[in-house]
Structure 1
């Protein structure tokens, strides 16, 4: 008797577990945004099958989104803590400028010079990120104000160093190997680097104590402090990491475009923030995924590419992305309000039950 009963319970538990997993998946904002991305791809594939739905075009889309993906990983951590970083575009430019100046000063096209340039670019990003984190965590200046200030400072220093003229002297090994290089003949090296950053970021965020503490800080900084999380140290480390990734993005941009592109990153910070929020990371902190960020990055990339192919003005991409961003934030607010109501109803039901028991 005990055997069949146990088997029946086990099957029911498995079915309920699978059903709950499916329900959670369908309710996840990142998955819903992924369905939107698939729908956009199918529409453009139907409108221009010979030009859009090709391996070469998809490769171009992935390559164009690679640098933003590197920046998006750091931004996801920051927004999960209920923070913001408006400076990443300027830090990217500053890091690339200093790196290009160092490599030009040393001279040469070998890996020795290129490696030094990579290290310098990442160190510059780490320095700016540490400054952001320190002012936010220790001086208690709001993240919006701190990063708005460093946004202007980093870009201003980059223009001072160059006189506003882009540096076009880049070691050939960077452009040939990273900027235009391929693995297995068709996979861009720059996209492989971005994929590694995304995977590492996802593992750290979702599978480690560091990621758990990141969510805790975003959910409730006070509660995180009470359970022993060193919030100040955590915030400094997160902003420093984001700055380091901006420095890495700076050298990747230098390799891809063979120039510092000082004026070409004015919208980078807003594009990355929009992608992270569209991907389901809450501006109020406490929730978000790296997968959602990647999906959110590809929506504007696919829209821009598709509009160009079918002959629509690419400016419509900004309209579409802005509309999706507003909808994403609205959905997040509705979910938070619904969760708060559910929690409140649960509390009142519990209190009502206790009062009935006493009576």
Structure 2
């Protein structure tokens, strides 16, 4: 079927997409691929591990671990959308938790006054370190990987100096009750992570702040010409990543009751894997919080399934690295398909 243009010449009407076109588009969508991979993982581990994997206790543990990681991954997603990277979030989490625990122990008390003071200290500590990253990246124009790698070592080193390399414990009773508490059967930590993700998603999709974040990642020079305060915005983004790492540090304390200094070395890579699996691109300008939340489930399910299957802990690091490489390969394939579609549309 054709129509006529203003000069009377026939203009072909675009054909409606066939069911094969729709299937192909769905298959190429990153969220579809991740969802299929997640379902496959759950089925495989349910068959291999049986009841221990599907038990209520293990599902709850996966949600708790995934919630803490999701808080980290939300900040990392914002950074990746700006075409940056943050390798420091795991160490910032540890440092914030250590400083928070030290302050709470010095103040004393088992009530919410001490616990909330610790929360404020953790968030402020993370925000400070994140801002340092942002200032160096935005105003000193240093490579974000180098800057955040340096912060990774500095924050972890300071945490070990403050504690003598020993994990701290002994948090307020109110905080430990929060870590195991539930509302309508849902753990408080899971609710906090969900609220953080929802607010971050709304800010990214429906505010000028989110539009500026995408613009900077898509084309930094064009964003400058458009009048966006790029340097200030980048400093805020890295500060946000640090703030969320501080919050995750406090949540981790409330759940596990200890600073666990040596247990977060892979957190930055895991958070980045979640963002990339969810559709974010290391080239910037692409990514969603919903995708990150879905991608975050992959490493969590993998870690739980491997532990129950009896694999030694260092194999988890191997698997995490392999999944990250796979996520980067998917990101490359998505970018190549996008470039082909752009070139074919222009021709």
TM-score above 0.5, yes or no:
yes
For 2:313 and 2:278, the matched residues in 1 are separated by 22
For 2:89 and 2:31, the matched residues in 1 are separated by 23
* Structure 1 equivalent of residue 168 of structure 2: 167
For 2:32 and 2:22, the matched residues in 1 are separated by 13
Q: CA deviation at 1:69?
A: 0.6
SS in 1 for 2:52: coil
* Structure 1 equivalent of residue 136 of structure 2: 135
Please say if residues 100 and 167 of structure 1, whose CA atoms lie closer than 8 Å, have aligned partners that are also in contact: yes
Please say if residues 83 and 285 of structure 1, whose CA atoms lie closer than 8 Å, have aligned partners that are also in contact: yes
1:291-338 Cα deviation digits (max 9, x unpaired): 221222211211222233344455544444433332322232223223
For 2:258 and 2:288, the matched residues in 1 are separated by 33
| 1:1-40 matches, cutoff 5 A | 25-40=26-41
1:34-64 Cα deviation digits (max 9, x unpaired): 1110111122223344332343332221112
Q: CA deviation at 1:263?
A: 1.7
Residues 42 and 103 (structure 1), Cα distance of their counterparts in 2 relative to 1, 3 Å cut: same
TM-score by length of 2: 0.89
Q: CA deviation at 1:24?
A: 5.1
For 1:313 and 1:38, the matched residues in 2 are separated by 24
Please say if residues 276 and 293 of structure 1, whose CA atoms lie closer than 8 Å, have aligned partners that are also in contact: yes
| 1:269-284 matches, cutoff 5 A | 269-284=268-283
**Are positions 1:57 and 2:58 aligned together?**
yes
* Structure 1 equivalent of residue 98 of structure 2: 97
Residues 263 and 309 (structure 1), Cα distance of their counterparts in 2 relative to 1, 3 Å cut: closer
Q: After alignment, is 126-135 or 54-63 more displaced?
A: 54-63
SS in 2 for 1:281: coil
* Structure 2 equivalent of residue 88 of structure 1: 89
Please say if residues 280 and 328 of structure 1, whose CA atoms lie closer than 8 Å, have aligned partners that are also in contact: no
* Structure 2 equivalent of residue 334 of structure 1: 333
* Structure 2 equivalent of residue 300 of structure 1: 299
* Structure 1 equivalent of residue 7 of structure 2: none
Residues 104 and 317 (structure 1), Cα distance of their counterparts in 2 relative to 1, 3 Å cut: closer
* Structure 2 equivalent of residue 115 of structure 1: 116
Please say if residues 118 and 251 of structure 1, whose CA atoms lie closer than 8 Å, have aligned partners that are also in contact: yes
Structure whose CA Rg is larger: 1
Q: After alignment, is 142-151 or 157-166 more displaced?
A: 157-166
Q: CA deviation at 1:30?
A: 2.4
For 1:314 and 1:93, the matched residues in 2 are separated by 20
For 2:26 and 2:344, the matched residues in 1 are separated by 25
| 1:185-264 matches, cutoff 5 A | 186-264=185-263
Q: CA deviation at 1:171?
A: 0.7
Q: CA deviation at 1:23?
A: 6.4
For 2:319 and 2:168, the matched residues in 1 are separated by 34
* Structure 1 equivalent of residue 181 of structure 2: 181
SS in 2 for 1:283: coil
Please say if residues 278 and 295 of structure 2, whose CA atoms lie closer than 8 Å, have aligned partners that are also in contact: yes
For 2:320 and 2:269, the matched residues in 1 are separated by 11
Aligned length: 334
Residues 248 and 21 (structure 1), Cα distance of their counterparts in 2 relative to 1, 3 Å cut: farther
1:68-100 Cα deviation digits (max 9, x unpaired): 110000000001111011111111111111111
Please say if residues 269 and 324 of structure 2, whose CA atoms lie closer than 8 Å, have aligned partners that are also in contact: no
Task: Flag structure 1 segments of 5+ consecutive residues without an equivalent.
Answer: 1-11, 350-359
Residues 313 and 90 (structure 1), Cα distance of their counterparts in 2 relative to 1, 3 Å cut: closer
